Amino acid sequence: MIQMIPRTYAGIRQLHPAIDLKTDFVDGMQNHANALEAMLLYINDTWNYLQKREEVRDALRNGTANKAQLIAAGYNSNPMRLPTYLKNGGAGWRSLIPAETQLYLT
């Protein structure tokens, strides 16, 4: 089962026009191969964004977070906010992310 919201799915389709993802969100999520492809593209895009951020590189270097935690947190919440959580929260960055996302990191 893939968790994705319509806006994210539309963004993935826009970023990857060469990939033949279904146009309709519901159809795309009901088709498991299509949904998996969209999720993998999103995870890859998320990691590509995150690894360019100094806050993320610092967290990896000092052991504040690992790649799996960062990908899960970025995937389940807003990856654009994750560097700020790391910067402001330091070792306690997980307390700044949404409660639902915290469940994925325990």
Q: How high is the pLDDT of residue 78?
A: 87
Please give the pLDDT value at position 1: 75
Which one-letter amino acid corresponds to residue 40? L
pLDDT of residue 2: 86
Q: What pLDDT is recorded for position 103?
A: 87
pTM of the model: 0.84
Return per-residue pLDDT of the chain as tens, 106 residues. 788 999 999 999 999 999 999 999 999 999 999 999 999 999 999 999 999 999 999 999 999 999 999 998 988 888 999 999 999 999 999 999 999 888 888 7
pLDDT recorded at residue 55 = 96
Burial 72-84 (b: 16+ CB within 10 A, else e): bbbbbbebeebbe
Task: Answer yes or no: do 70 and 25 share one domain.
Answer: no
**Structural tokens at position 70:** 């960062």
Both 16 and 57 in one domain: the answer is no
Q: 84 and 65, same structural domain?
A: yes
Report the domain count for the chain. Answer: 2
Both 23 and 62 in a single domain?
no
What is the pLDDT at residue 3? 85
Q: How is 30-93 classified by DSSP, letter by letter?
A: HSHHHHHHHHHHHHHHHHHHHTTSHHHHHHHHHTS--HHHHHHHHHHS-TTTHHHHHHHHGGGG
| Domain containing residue 90 | 51-106
DSSP category for residue 18: T
Same structural domain, 59 and 105: yes
Same domain (yes/no): 11, 31: yes
